[in-house]
Structure 1
Amino acid sequence: MENVSKFNRKKIIEYFKIAAELTIFLVAIFFIHKELKKYNLHDLKSSIEAIPFWAITLIIFFVCLDYLILTCFDVLAFKNENYSLPRKNISFVSFISFAFANSIGLSGLTASGLRLNLYSLLGVPYKTIMNVVIFCYTTFWLGLLWIGGVFLTLLPISLVQIKLPIKLPIDTTVPIGVILLIGATVFTGVIIKKHKNTNTILINRILIALADWVSLSFVLYFALPPHNRIDFFHFLAIFIIAQILGFLSNVPGGIGVFDLIFLTLLGGAYSSDKIIGALLVYRIAYFFIPLLVAFTIFTIYHLFIRKDNTKITEMEKIIFSQFPNFLSIIITLSGIILIFSGFFPFPSSLITKIEVVFPFLNLETSHFIGAAIGTTLLFLAYYIEKRFELAYFVSLFFLGCSIVLSIVKEFHLFFTIFLTLSFIGTIPTKDYFYRKNTFFSEKPSFKKLSTIILVILIGVYLGIFSYKETEFFSKISWSFSNTLLGIFFAFAILIILNVISEKRKSSVEEKNTETLPEENSPTDKDLRNCISLSSTTDAYLSLLGDKEIIFDDSKNSFIMFGKSGHSFVAMGDPVGDEKTFGSCIWKFYNHCKANKKETVFYEINKNYLNYYLDVGLSFLKIGEFAQVHLENFTLDGSDAKPLRHAFNRVEKEGYTFEVIPVEKVPEILDDLESISNEWLQDKNAKEKGFSLGKFTKEYLLNFPVGVIKKDNKILAFGNILETNNKEEISLDLMRYRNEAVHGTMDYFFISVINYGKENGFKKFNLGMAPLAGIEDNTASFWNKIERAIFSHGEHFYNFKGLRSFKDKFNPQWEPRYIAYSGPFNLPNILTDVTLLISGGIRGLISKK
């Protein structure tokens, strides 16, 4: 109940936040409307077209320069950390982070999340990444505080003319400037004391931060009319105050608030239509164009360069898997273009000609169709981001229709090119859309619906603005009303489809509940079928009975998970058909959300990190995993001398190895139980489970058992896990009597490895070594917590010296990660995982 109450409070706060942002935006739009009353659409178009070519060239130059300066944030951060990483990798991650964050609004958390994931995949330690994130974020604010403090104090701006619902308590920016200067001084002092930057690093931070703000302001400065241009430093002060108030409004990108400040503070120098025109150019140049350029590069790369998918690196695969997020923005923009176009008067001579042949396709119906398609694309963008396969095909269809419509309605060439690139860029991305669900199995968030409604409201406003000098107010314009009708039509169709989907779902669930509940629910047969498809022996942990199972809708894969505290913790990657892993991970993620729990995946490998990135999870390396490639394993040569010696010594003692077939295991179960109990008592340990096997008769009856004998007496045993495709073999429980000689376990491992090699298996799974590969000098605060927790767990699991023991077999080591929901939930998540793998609080306090 407490969790539910906490969740409801968070929801109420989220709704209130969205409502506040929407109110601020609408108030700003109201005052902007008052400023633009005497202007029309033609005035805005003329003001944009009046920008000279040399100014456009400078705008493009300063956009490129600013993105280059932004990459210096990361380069300098890594230099401060004394961490070596190729500059091209740093620049790439930095550009992706800033470009993506800028396209959806200047969000520090968005950029931070991208850096955390992308740098993690490049092998950068967690502590270093977080320091880089903090460095970039504080550098951004360091520049704003200093440049704002200096210019708002020395070149004060009058705030009297700002049109806000409430009167500001100050008349000029001097008090704000003084506060910013004090903040800048204190902030700089904190950075010097806490982060211990060298003088060179600190000076460079301030310089690149100032360069960022200056180059960014030049983008908008050169979009203003060249005649009677105001002094740049006076403009810079206005730019800073507009940015600050835009940030404080919390509206994405400061849209509305930022524009209103410029309208009122520059109103004495330029007409409102010229300012709005400049702001439009600024947003297109700095936010929209980089997004389109990146999209074009991606399209060219996929269509012409990377035809051989086998050559795509792991990093490229993961980066490209994020393309649906990128495409979601593009499709949203496509929808916005179509909706807005319906509210503008587009006289089309081509439509007039087509109407002769196709009477139904006239100007009015084209507005109706465009608005319906545009609204649908806004909804489709959500499902594109969620990787729905159906969304891919439907988006292609509607993008194709939008291209035809843009030609028929004689759009500006730029918009037609944009829609065409969107269509072409979507074609090669089919593999990224792996979820087979229907649309309405997952509803858009309240924020997404609010955004769609906000777009429509802006479109309506633009329509009123563009038609205000026509007969619109005396007689509703056909194109305007048909656009609204198209929007309502799209909403109606979506609502009807949703209702039908809900009724069908309820009918199926009712039918299944009343008739064949057992036959229609996942069975032991489904579970074993997925295990048979697996290429890893960890799949057999699902047979322990200590974890819950959630199946993909196809029942071709599942996730096993335990519940602990505020988290649902999945053990490893999904099990079964790899083609369904993506949709299975999404299903588990949504299951966690529905139950108000954190999503956690424990001990996952690097092969499927792109799927975890798809749902927005963060990563932390928790150790390394060892595998012996059996074709290369040998006891010959000087390197294998210790193993050869240990094997021969135990064999000379009269020990032998034997594999008991699964059908004969019941005959020796009592002996095995006796050995297990003796081993647990000697180790002062108790059964754990979850990430390790545990002794139960029901569990052991599923496997062949390897035994070590002397004089026909079983002295040691271990159940042998084998994948059906001969990809992997491993030992699970490994227990022995006190009388077994030293080196029995070495002998056991070598015997099973030889057995696997003889029977055609490719790899022997040695399991994970917690914290292997995590260096002390680069360990983050959370890595140190990990070290304490997992060292404690190692004591319970008898993992001490595990890395050195496994190294004797000359394995190949791979990183293992924990994936979790949200970069700031790690402390609680680590606690939940620790309690789960150690058997609860009692398991932490006592071994018995």
Structure 2
Amino acid sequence: MSAGGRVLAALKRHGPTVFGLLLLVAALYVVQREFRSLSWRDIQGALAATPASALWGAAGFTVLAYLILTAYDRLGSVYAGHPVSYLRTSLASFVAYSLANNLGFATVSGAAVRYRFYAAWGLPPIAIAKVVAFTSLTFGLGGLALGGLVLLVEPEVLPFFGDGAPRWLMQAAGLLMWAVVAAYVLLARFVPHFRLAGYQIDLPGFRMALTQTALASADVAVTALIFWALLPPAEGLTFLHFLGIYVLALSAGILANVPGGIGVFDGAMLLGLSGYLPAPEVFGAILLFRLYYYIVPLFLAGVMFAGFEMSQRRHLFERWAPERGVAISFEVPAMAALTVLGAMTLIFIGALPPKASPLAGYSDLLHEMSSHFAASVVGSLLLVAAYGLMRRLALAWWAGIVLLLNGALVVWLRGEPWWLTGGFLLLVGLLATVRPAFYRRARLTAEPLSEGTAAALAALAVCALTLASVAYAGRYAEMSWWGVALSGNTPHTLRFAVGVAGVLLLVAAVRLLRPARPPAVPYDEATRQRLAALGALAPPPGEADGAVFGEAGRAGFAFVKRDGIWLGLGDPAGEAADRVSAIWRFRDICEAARVDPAFWRVGPELARVYADIGLTVLPLAGGAEGARFLACRPERDLEALLPLLPGEQDAP
């Protein structure tokens, strides 16, 4: 591969992640800048000043927003040719959007939740894939339509560009967004089917395309009204102008791919509204908006989904055996999302202005442990721990426990409200109860100590000592570590040292929380015999492209390579614990190769693990009851896989 090809491949693989991190860093900078003049007393005052009429209005707009969302799924089922009653689509829509909006991770997407509901109601996988595609596209149409309207009417709305961008350029961008929407509607009118990248795309028809656009626009506008209702009147801030700021902030949160857009959405709203309202009033509205649109619906959706799951089980304790072929695991993404929330809380604390510590004059050590600097470092490391938690790493579980306890100590020593300390301790307790869900070994614990791992350990130790020495020096304890690096009043050498130490600390932590390297084995006669001895499906050489074995080498399976998808042939066979590590190794191999993993002819006993790696387990036609399933990412790969699997095109 040429140098240019390697660069493009690296951008394709890491570009979205890097872009999301850049958005998060930019948001942290905005929060840091805006919070320097804030205090909890100011925020509490702004919350207390919110009139009851605004609270009731926001509640009404929240109900209306979710009612509009229910129409997405109803139209989607009609488009797929399998109309489902409005009551059922309302349930699927509310639960899917509530969980996906809050958790934000690919392993628990709205697509996976919809597959669980619609499969139980008898829809075939292809029809469910069409419902998922329809709902995803509908949401995007609303952002494009309203974003184009705002840029055409009030192109100055974008706070990141200010007056530097010509008015005509912003209006041209708005016209381009409208052109995309118009092209979709016209294609739906005149071109009912077309092929793209080897896939047949079925468009919904002219009337339904118009309905999609109108519904999506109404959804985004009404959701913005929730926030708008919670803000006090501001001179010069019209709803259309606010709508542009909201759409931009919402888009940034989605692109950053963090749970609920936390940090990124908040920072963009603070920046966009900074010229109209004081920061305490904006932040108070953000807290109430998250309560209305995220937290309360998430609680209700969790209760509804739990009730649905119990109604679908003949035996309560067979929780993860998929009777209709779909299994979803929620506790790990939920714990990771809550850990991110704890991390952002500490980061926000690190951005607040200094206040008198209750320990001042008693213990210098404890005082420095509760400083802004310490809070910002612990919060940053908790973000890395959440990354490891999503990969089910046991080392990340231990790191999360230690860092959350540290966070509880920081907020307690600072004299923050008691419920903040209690929240951290509650999260520690919740994380402790799901210890078996974190069963993977990190590279640090699973492999011999390599030069790269030793370098990461050394960098972690040196950077931690560097940051600790700055924190305990006292002079900069009431600034976050990135605040020191960005401050113009700090000596240049110190700024450089703290900035490099902070970045290297996080990079080293990420490297140490990487899973063990997943080796693939070439498929030859020796490999075939080894798999056969384990009891795995072992086709003749030439009919498989490779094999994967677990960390202990006592379980494995063969796989074949298809365009963009690598397909495991059956469940891993062998020792129970090593079967799980073999599945995860295959997932990591596919991630490195930039392809999607899938498994054919699997049983229900490992459905939980397939769900953990982001796959949905679907029933296939024929065979003994409960014996044949396909584990894949159906919203992306099902249509391409079914023609390759003999006899499966008519799967229920």
Question: What TM-score do you get using the length of structure 2 for normalisation?
Answer: 0.69
1:415 aligns with 2:417: no
Instruction: Please give the per-residue CA displacement for 1:698-756, whole angstroms capped at 9, x wherever unaligned.
Output: xxxxxxxxxxxxxxxxxxxxxxxxxxxxxxxxxxxxxxxxxxxxxxxxxxxxxxxxxxx
SS of the equivalent of 1:561 reads strand
1:402 aligns with 2:407: yes
Residue type of the partner of 2:602? I
Instruction: Please give the per-residue CA displacement for 1:231-256, whole angstroms capped at 9, x wherever unaligned.
Output: 8xx41354146515864895555976
1:386 aligns with 2:387: no
Whether the 8 Å contact between 2:551 and 2:578 is mirrored in structure 1 is: no
Distance of aligned partners of 1:596 and 1:140 in 2 relative to their CA distance in 1, 3 Å threshold? closer
Distance of aligned partners of 1:828 and 1:68 in 2 relative to their CA distance in 1, 3 Å threshold? closer
Whether the 8 Å contact between 2:333 and 2:390 is mirrored in structure 1 is: yes
Aligned to 1:63: 62
Whether the 8 Å contact between 1:557 and 1:576 is mirrored in structure 2 is: yes
Aligned to 1:77: 76
Aligned to 1:217: 224
Deviation at 1:828, TM superposition (A): 6.7
Deviation at 1:328, TM superposition (A): 1.2
Residue type of the partner of 1:243? V
Whether the 8 Å contact between 2:150 and 2:243 is mirrored in structure 1 is: no
Select the residue among 429, 437, 456 that pairs with 1:432: 437
Whether the 8 Å contact between 2:602 and 2:630 is mirrored in structure 1 is: yes
1:157 aligns with 2:154: yes
Deviation at 1:597, TM superposition (A): 5.6
Select the residue among 233, 239, 257 that pairs with 1:235: 239
Q: CA separation in 2, counterparts of 1:540 and 1:467?
A: 57
1:377 aligns with 2:382: yes
Distance of aligned partners of 1:602 and 1:474 in 2 relative to their CA distance in 1, 3 Å threshold? closer
Deviation at 1:573, TM superposition (A): 0.8
Q: CA separation in 1, counterparts of 2:291 and 2:160?
A: 27
Provide the aligned length of Structure 1 versus Structure 2. Answer: 588
SS of the equivalent of 1:569 reads strand
Deviation at 1:374, TM superposition (A): 3.1
Deviation at 1:330, TM superposition (A): 1.2
Structure 1 stretch displaced more, 600-609 or 173-182: 173-182
Whether the 8 Å contact between 1:403 and 1:419 is mirrored in structure 2 is: yes
Instruction: Please give the per-residue CA displacement for 1:542-596, whole angstroms capped at 9, x wherever unaligned.
Output: 7999765433223443223345676643221111244443322002222344456
Whether the 8 Å contact between 1:440 and 1:498 is mirrored in structure 2 is: no
Distance of aligned partners of 1:29 and 1:828 in 2 relative to their CA distance in 1, 3 Å threshold? same
Aligned to 2:348: 340
SS of the equivalent of 1:600 reads strand
SS of the equivalent of 2:631 reads strand
SS of the equivalent of 1:330 reads helix
Q: CA separation in 1, counterparts of 2:15 and 2:246?
A: 24
Whether the 8 Å contact between 1:318 and 1:610 is mirrored in structure 2 is: no
Structure 1 stretch displaced more, 167-176 or 100-109: 100-109
Select the residue among 276, 283, 301 that pairs with 1:277: 283
Select the residue among 364, 369, 380 that pairs with 1:365: 369
Q: CA separation in 2, counterparts of 1:211 and 1:833?
A: 42
Unaligned runs of 5+ residues in structure 1 are: 445-452, 510-520, 532-538, 627-812, 835-848
Give the 5 Å matches for 1:530-545. 530-531=534-535, 539=536, 541=538
SS of the equivalent of 1:582 reads helix
Q: CA separation in 1, counterparts of 2:82 and 2:140?
A: 23
Distance of aligned partners of 1:415 and 1:92 in 2 relative to their CA distance in 1, 3 Å threshold? farther
Deviation at 1:321, TM superposition (A): 1.7
Residue type of the partner of 1:818? L
1:554 aligns with 2:560: no
SS of the equivalent of 1:362 reads helix
Whether the 8 Å contact between 1:399 and 1:423 is mirrored in structure 2 is: yes
Distance of aligned partners of 1:475 and 1:190 in 2 relative to their CA distance in 1, 3 Å threshold? closer
Select the residue among 614, 617, 626 that pairs with 1:616: 614
Aligned to 2:187: 190
Deviation at 1:407, TM superposition (A): 3.1
Deviation at 1:40, TM superposition (A): 4.7
Aligned to 1:842: none
Q: CA separation in 2, counterparts of 1:151 and 1:53?
A: 30
SS of the equivalent of 2:621 reads strand
Give the 5 Å matches for 1:453-602. 463=479, 494=509, 528=533, 530-531=534-535, 539=536, 541=538, 549-562=547-560, 568-594=566-592, 598-602=596-600
SS of the equivalent of 1:625 reads coil
SS of the equivalent of 2:338 reads helix
Structure 1 stretch displaced more, 10-19 or 604-613: 10-19
Whether the 8 Å contact between 2:401 and 2:428 is mirrored in structure 1 is: yes
Deviation at 1:473, TM superposition (A): 7.8
Aligned to 2:649: none
Instruction: Please give the per-residue CA displacement for 1:302-334, whole angstroms capped at 9, x wherever unaligned.
Output: xx999x852536459965523212221111221
Deviation at 1:120, TM superposition (A): 5.0
Q: CA separation in 2, counterparts of 1:570 and 1:107?
A: 20
Higher Cα Rg, which structure? 1
Residue type of the partner of 1:378? L
Q: CA separation in 2, counterparts of 1:496 and 1:149?
A: 41
Whether the 8 Å contact between 1:71 and 1:90 is mirrored in structure 2 is: yes
Select the residue among 615, 628, 631 that pairs with 1:816: 628
Whether the 8 Å contact between 1:159 and 1:172 is mirrored in structure 2 is: no
Instruction: Please give the per-residue CA displacement for 1:80-102, whole angstroms capped at 9, x wherever unaligned.
Output: 44525566664454334323443
Instruction: Please give the per-residue CA displacement for 1:435-494, whole angstroms capped at 9, x wherever unaligned.
Output: 3556565999xxxxxxxx9xx9xxx9x9479999xxx98789xxx999999968965984
Over the residues paired in the alignment, what is the CA RMSD in angstroms? 5.6
Q: CA separation in 2, counterparts of 1:334 and 1:245?
A: 21
Aligned to 1:331: 339
Q: CA separation in 2, counterparts of 1:523 and 1:100?
A: 43
Q: CA separation in 2, counterparts of 1:414 and 1:373?
A: 19
Instruction: Please give the per-residue CA displacement for 1:26-69, whole angstroms capped at 9, x wherever unaligned.
Output: 778878988x5995557666545533344234334433442343
Q: CA separation in 1, counterparts of 2:53 and 2:572?
A: 57
Q: CA separation in 1, counterparts of 2:408 and 2:36?
A: 34
Distance of aligned partners of 1:621 and 1:159 in 2 relative to their CA distance in 1, 3 Å threshold? same
Aligned to 2:128: 129
Distance of aligned partners of 1:360 and 1:181 in 2 relative to their CA distance in 1, 3 Å threshold? closer
Distance of aligned partners of 1:37 and 1:420 in 2 relative to their CA distance in 1, 3 Å threshold? closer
Question: What TM-score do you get using the length of structure 1 for normalisation?
Answer: 0.55
Q: CA separation in 2, counterparts of 1:148 and 1:594?
A: 36
Q: CA separation in 1, counterparts of 2:119 and 2:271?
A: 43
Distance of aligned partners of 1:88 and 1:380 in 2 relative to their CA distance in 1, 3 Å threshold? farther
SS of the equivalent of 2:61 reads helix
Instruction: Please give the per-residue CA displacement for 1:393-445, whole angstroms capped at 9, x wherever unaligned.
Output: 4434443443344333332355335424423433432343333556565999x
Distance of aligned partners of 1:816 and 1:111 in 2 relative to their CA distance in 1, 3 Å threshold? same
Deviation at 1:136, TM superposition (A): 1.7
Whether the 8 Å contact between 1:435 and 1:583 is mirrored in structure 2 is: yes
Distance of aligned partners of 1:47 and 1:576 in 2 relative to their CA distance in 1, 3 Å threshold? same
Unaligned runs of 5+ residues in structure 2 are: 193-201, 454-462, 468-475, 520-525, 647-652
